[in-house]
Amino acid sequence: MKAVNHYVVIDKIKETEKKVGGLIITEDTNTDVRYCKAKIISVGDLVQNVSDGDTIWYDKHAGYGIEYDNNYYFVIKASDIVLVD
């Protein structure tokens, strides 16, 4: 699988549950966080400054899901990446 143009294929990294004041905060209940962490699977030929295998933070409302070889990935635009870890 190879991304094209300005697209990036990513695999979301699940955040672990946290306990805050006796409450369990999961990824679904933590609505204050706008950005999510992911690992890059493939970058398009027009994308600069990131490469396969990099860990990134991206806008959680960006992109769409795609199933490939029984795995579920997300495709986002390079402009949705906010930082490289």
Residue 31 lies in a domain: yes
Residue 1 lies in a domain: no
Domain enclosing residue 63, as ranges: 7-84
Residue 22: what pLDDT?
Answer: 73
**Average pLDDT value over all residues in the chain:** 88
Phi-psi region of 70 (alpha: psi -120 to 50; beta: other; left: phi over 0): left
The total of structural domains in the chain comes to 1
Residue 73 lies in a domain: yes
Residue 64 lies in a domain: yes
pTM for the whole structure: 0.80
Residue 76 lies in a domain: yes
Of 3, 79, 74, the C-alpha closest to 37 is: 74
Confidence of residue 17 (pLDDT cuts 50, 70, 90): low
Residue 63 lies in a domain: yes
Q: Which residues contact 81 (CB under 8 A, 6 or more apart)?
A: 8, 50, 56, 57, 58
Query: At 20, which CATH number?
Result: 2.30.33.40
Higher pLDDT, 21 or 51: 51
Q: How far apart are the first and last CA of the chain?
A: 23
Residue 2 lies in a domain: no
Encode pLDDT of 23-51 as tens digits.
666 655 556 678 999 999 999 999 999 99
